């Protein structure tokens, strides 16, 4: 995979590159991000700059004469759990290549929608609305299509990056549980998670809540189907 590290700070970039090397990523190209013009930028202005940076990473990938099959994008506050994340991610992507038509694979994410397990994989799940873009993989064909059809001005949340709204919902996948976290709580999530809870713990809580919600919905659906079928059967008999 072609790797790109998005950063606006030289020191953070150096630390992030060293962290990526520790986890087995040998070829990662740094990409300079942009800062908002406003001295006190809004969350939307900050997110617009972040999305523009992800656009630049994807565009550079599509312009490379000898690009690899897929692209992986990191933000400079991404930190991996465990060891040798590169091998773990590559195995997951190989699994997707062999078994599914896919567009995006979120390695670091917070699921805000249904999570659905896949057959023959304990770590790769369908995530209908993955949120948080500190590490994700784009299928190379998807990356090229997005650059060809979506202008830079339209790379905005929630349509691109994170939720990948322009990637079909049945082509969105994620690693569960996530193996990548941010090293600090994003400003927009502090109000939700509070200051006494770590981002890592908050993500695990949200993952657990999402999984519980998924199970509850599937149980309710199964019960409704059962009672509907039983009602139809009784009506046909009578």
List pLDDT tens digits, range 96-141. 999 999 999 999 877 777 788 898 898 899 988 887 778 999 999 9
3-12, 154-163, 223-232: the lowest-pLDDT one: 223-232
Scan for tokens 């929630």, then name that residue. Answer: 158
pLDDT for 14: 94
> How much is the mean pLDDT over the chain?
84
pLDDT at position 164 is 80
How far from 159 is each of 47, 162, 215, CA to CA, in Å?
12, 8, 27
| Residue-range definition of the domain harbouring residue 75 | 2-237
Q: Which helix (H) or strand (E) holds 122?
A: strand 121-127
Number of domains in the chain: 1
DSSP for residue 101: -
Q: Which of 40-49, 63-72, 107-116, 228-237 has the highest mean pLDDT?
A: 63-72
- For residue 58, is pLDDT > 80? yes
Are 164 and 132 a contacting pair, CB within 8 Å? no
Give the residue-averaged pLDDT of 151-167.
85
Average pLDDT over residues 2-20: 94
Q: Do 126 and 62 meet the contact criterion of CB atoms below 8 Å apart?
A: no
Give the CATH number of the domain where residue 97 resides.
3.90.550.10
Question: What mean pLDDT is predicted for residues 212-216?
Answer: 69
Q: Report the 10 Å Cβ neighbour count for 57.
A: 24
Burial bucket for residue 133 (CB in 10 Å: 0-12, 13-18, 19+): buried
Average pLDDT of the segment spanning 162-171: 85
pLDDT at 206: 60
Contact 109, 131 (CB under 8 A): yes
């Amino acid at each position: 995979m072609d790797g790109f590290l998005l950063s606006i700070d030289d020191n953070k970039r150096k630390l992030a590159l060293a962290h990526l090397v520790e986890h087995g990523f040998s070829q990662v190209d740094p990409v300079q991000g942009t800062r908002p013009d406003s001295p006190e930028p809004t969350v939307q202005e900050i997110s617009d700059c972040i999305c523009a940076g992800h656009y630049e990473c994807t565009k550079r990938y599509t312009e490379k004469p000898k690009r690899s099959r897929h692209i992986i994008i990191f933000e400079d506050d991404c930190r991996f759990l465990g060891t040798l994340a590169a091998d773990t991610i590559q195995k997951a992507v190989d699994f997707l290549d062999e078994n599914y038509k896919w567009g995006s694979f979120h390695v670091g994410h917070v699921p805000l929608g249904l999570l659905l397990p896949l057959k023959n994989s304990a770590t790769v799940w369908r995530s209908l609305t993955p949120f948080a873009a500190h590490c994700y993989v784009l299928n190379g064909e998807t990356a090229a299509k997005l650059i060809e059809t979506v202008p830079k001005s339209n790379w905005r949340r929630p349509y691109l990056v994170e939720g990948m709204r322009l990637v079909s919902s049945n082509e969105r996948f994620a690693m569960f549980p996530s193996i990548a976290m941010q090293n600090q709580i994003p400003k927009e999530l502090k109000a939700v998670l509070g200051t006494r809870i770590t981002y890592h713990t908050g993500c695990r809580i949200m993952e657990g809540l999402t999984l519980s919600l998924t199970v509850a919905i599937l149980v309710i659906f199964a019960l409704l189907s059962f009672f509907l079928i039983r009602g139809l059967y009784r009506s046909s008999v009578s």
